[in-house]
Amino acid sequence: MKKLLVTLSLVFCFVSSSIFAAPSLIPTPPQLSASSYILMDAYTGDILVEHNADQALPPASLTKLMTAYIIEYELARGNLSLDDMVNVSEKAWRMEGSRMFIREGTQVKLEDLMRGIIIQSGNDASVAAAEYIAGSESAFADLMNQHAQLLGMTNSHFVNATGFPAEGHYSSAHDIAKLARATILQFPENYSMYAEKEFTYNNIRQPNRNKLLWRDKTVDGMKTGHTDAAGFCLAASAVRNGTRLITVVMGTNSDTARAVESQKLLDYGFRYYETRKLYSRGQVVNNARVWGGSQPNVKVGFAEDVLVTMPRQQGASIPATLDMQEEIMAPIAVGDVLGKIVVGSEGNVLVERSVVALEAVDEGGFFKRMFDKIKLFFMNLF
């Protein structure tokens, strides 16, 4: 690989390089009264704080984040519509615990079931939706586990759609954070439901159990959970000044405690960290030489925005190294990987991303290809 060193002062004129020299400016994270917890940057997936985050625990109604995720997944692919009418079975109607209060033998709009799952934490709504999508709750649980595998949820296994206590039903704070992140990034069109503070169905008004929706105006989701075995759990997300964080707290001792402990993580994360966009999708970082092509150069840049989680510091610039393929031969298709960029200093790499061709380059004519081969041959002799 041929290395091209660049300093990104034009891109990050406000970003600090002093963070590498003074990490002690960030205090020790808060210690929470919880069995397990995690703080994650939603946009980058970086973990800022964790404690027992990969420990398999009963997730209680945090399970319903997966139930809702699958509904949103099917909606996005056109397999479902929010206007679909769902039949309510006896099993769904008889579900105990938190309920939406749907009635056996009736039909309920899927959009109402979504709100019943997300806002009211309805076990009945979850089962009705699961049966509608997969035919039975057990078949839906198999679908849940397939999605968990695709999302990299390596410490999760689901046996029902509700989180009702059952042998072999477990997840982890880290896995729930991955699921929350996927929900936020993949299905933003439905995410506003998670911020709704109440929902009325069948003339029964129920508030969202996420107390942070009232206490912190930057919080806009996501889901609570509670059983005797799981304790009080909360997955929450908030956005401030372009930075979105996700917290998952499991195994606290009260409804109030899960909100208080989650708030500690959010306040710590927003106070000391932020998400910065280093490069934009399609931004050109190099005009690379092409051999044997219909044109002499190809624009090189990024297929997606490049984001990084950084401590809140001020400074001049961050070093970056652009490693390009030494000999780029035509033909080239849009999206072909032509190198990589490494942002940060030695021993403290912030992010590493592939750089790709932003345009296609066809093969040149016969004489152009021959001329370039001869030129390369003599160049490689010296």
Which neighbouring-strand residues pair with 301? Answer: 284, 356
Query: What does the pLDDT look like over 273-293, one tens digit per residue?
Result: 999 998 999 999 999 999 999
CA proximity to 151, closest of 182, 128, 106, 189: 182
Residue 189: partners with Cβ closer than 8 Å, 6 or more residues away: none
Homologous superfamily (CATH) of 36-274 is DD-peptidase/beta-lactamase superfamily (3.40.710.10)
Tell me what pLDDT residue 379 has: 73
Residues serving a catalytic function are 61, 64, 121
pLDDT for res 381: 66
At residue 311, the pLDDT reads: 87
Per-residue pLDDT tens digits for 91-140: 999 999 999 999 999 999 999 999 999 999 999 999 999 999 999 999 99
What distance in Å separates the CA atoms of residue 121 and residue 357, rounded to the nearest whole number? 47
Residue 382 confidence class, pLDDT cut points 50, 70, 90: low
**What CA–CA distances, in Å, run from 288 to 230, 282, 300, 306?**
56, 15, 7, 20
pLDDT for position 254? 97
- For the cut 60, the answer to whether the pLDDT of residue 316 exceeds it is no
**pTM here?**
0.87
Paired strand residues for 57: 171
pLDDT digits (tens, 9 = 90+) for 296-311: 999 999 999 999 898 8
Q: Known binder of ligand: residue 3?
A: no
Please state the domain extents for the chain: 36-274, 280-380
- Tell me the mean pLDDT in the region 59-80: 98
Model confidence at 312: pLDDT above 50? yes
* CATH of span 280-380: 2.60.410.10
pLDDT in tens, 224-249: 999 999 999 999 999 999 999 999 99
* 315 neighbors 330 (Cβ within 8 angstroms): no
